[in-house]
Amino acid sequence: MDRTQLNRSTWLTVLFQFGANLIFPPTCAGCGRAGAALCDACAQAVEPAPSTICSHCGRMQFIAVPLCSLCAREDDPPLTWTRAAALHTHPLREAIHQFKYRNQPELAEPLSRYLVAIFQQPPWTEITHTIDGCVPVPLHPKRLAERGYNQAALLAASFAERVRLPVTEAWLSRNRETTSQATLTADQRRQNIAGAFSTSTAVKGKRILVIDDVTTTGATLTACAYALRGAGAAAVYGMALATPLLATRQDPHQMAG
Ligand SMILES: [Zn+2]
Ligand SMILES: [Zn+2]
């Protein structure tokens, strides 16, 4: 299946959902009440992300420090900065679950509003006009075929339309899943992701915003940034809809994503 067919498949999924919603009105993905895909009460109950994250990769920290232990090992962290819009707690957690796993692509529209909200605040306002393209974190083609759509691509498309930025999905594609990189040195991390992503030659010199739905360890956004910077991108920024609050002092580096 080539890229054109995949995009057509995503589009048809959205179109079908739109038609289905006319016949069966949506229920709220947060609380289950009928009426809207995300009701006003749930939309307002979404909690903003805390500031205790690594400013480069977005990894949740227990105290507000500018650099996590992994980014501190880097001379030039691949992500200039990363921000998550909200906490991955109820009702956003349920909404994201419905969005990803219950075939509700129409949630991209209400959920992308949280990305727009943080994008209109510092530090983003300093660089809004310098970004050349929005790149969603790519799904492996096999998972894309199973799900019918890439939730990060739908979020990126809805976000980019609102803030009038181009979506440049073709700049990054995934060849295989990436594994945990937490115990590796910076050089080993670069080698580990070599081959996991393919980049377009168009990324050279570009300033790129990579968008994902959930970031936990920052590993996926970091891997995307390694690939894009390795292909000559001038700067890469990360943005995620949600990040989980680490409730216990477990090793965050052992968590996925
Ligand atoms: Zn609700
Ligand atoms: Zn970091």
Residue 20 has pLDDT above 50, yes or no: yes
Residue 222 Cα, ligand 2 centroid: separation in angstroms?
9
Q: Which ligand is closest in space to the CA of residue 32?
A: 1
Does domain 36-246 correspond to CATH entry 3.40.50?
yes
Query: What tens digit of pLDDT does each residue of 184-225 get?
Result: 776 776 667 767 899 999 999 999 999 999 998 888 898 899
Q: Hey, which bits of 114-222 come out as E strands?
A: 133-136, 172-174, 197-199, 207-214
Residue 47 Cα, ligand 1 centroid: separation in angstroms?
14
What pLDDT is recorded for position 140?
86
Q: Which ligand is closest in space to the CA of residue 60?
A: 2
Residue 40 Cα, ligand 1 centroid: separation in angstroms?
7
Tokens 């199973």, located at residue: 146
Q: What are the domain boundaries of the chain?
A: 36-246
Residue 157 has pLDDT above 50, yes or no: yes
Average pLDDT over residues 62-77: 83
Choice between 88 and 192, residue whose per-residue pLDDT is larger: 88
Residue 45 Cα, ligand 1 centroid: separation in angstroms?
9
Residue 56 Cα, ligand 2 centroid: separation in angstroms?
5
Residue 124 has pLDDT above 50, yes or no: yes
Residue 212's nearest CA partner among 115, 132, 122, 140 is: 115
What pLDDT is recorded for position 254?
40
Residue 18 has pLDDT above 80, yes or no: no
